[in-house]
Amino acid sequence: MTVAELNRCDRTRFADALDGTFEGSRWVAERAWDRRPFSCLEQLHASMAAEVANATAEEQLALLRAHPDLGSRARMSDDSGDEQSGAGLDRLNPDTGDRLQRLNALYREKFGFPFLLAVKGRTVDDVLVALERRLGAGREVELVEALTQVYRIAGVRLHDRIRS
């Protein structure tokens, strides 16, 4: 689908086409529909990110919590599964898997949402280094970083789905 074709969609079809761009948060696409027409993919992405930025704290937290833990074996969306697989997170040795699960649990306990990182082009070591580093952040700083990562993930997903 192209941006021009998206611009011609009704709200439901528009949201259907973009569902999953922001994990488990269809409302982002539904609200962004009001900002049409979009001149390019970058404007669409910026509009969707603005909807998240303008959302309530509860909506933002729900969006963050809709993401699976990195390296988990839990059921996840096809997008998340593909992204994690690309970073090797589906092929962890037992020691690395245990370490990642332990760090994920510490992160979730401290911040109240899963550790989020746009993993495309990254390795397991990159994920572990980032997770350990970000565990030292304060909650407000980490909330901003987590949303920044969500915007990056959404950008990758948009580029995979929509043509300019």
Q: Which residues are designated catalytic?
A: 67
Q: With DSSP H G I counted as helix, E B as strand and the rest as coil, what are the percentages for the chain, rounded to 5?
A: 65, 0, 35
Whole-angstrom CA distances from 157 to 29, 56, 142 are: 13, 23, 22
Two tokens, residue 94: 């037992």
The Cα–Cα gap between 30 and 37 comes to: 14
The pair of structure tokens assigned to 69 is 């833990």
Three-state SS for 2?
Answer: strand
Residue type present at position 80: S
> Is there a contact between 81 and 109 (Cβ–Cβ < 8 Å)?
no
The residues near 32 (Cβ < 8 Å, ≥ 6 apart) are 14, 18, 44, 47, 48, 51
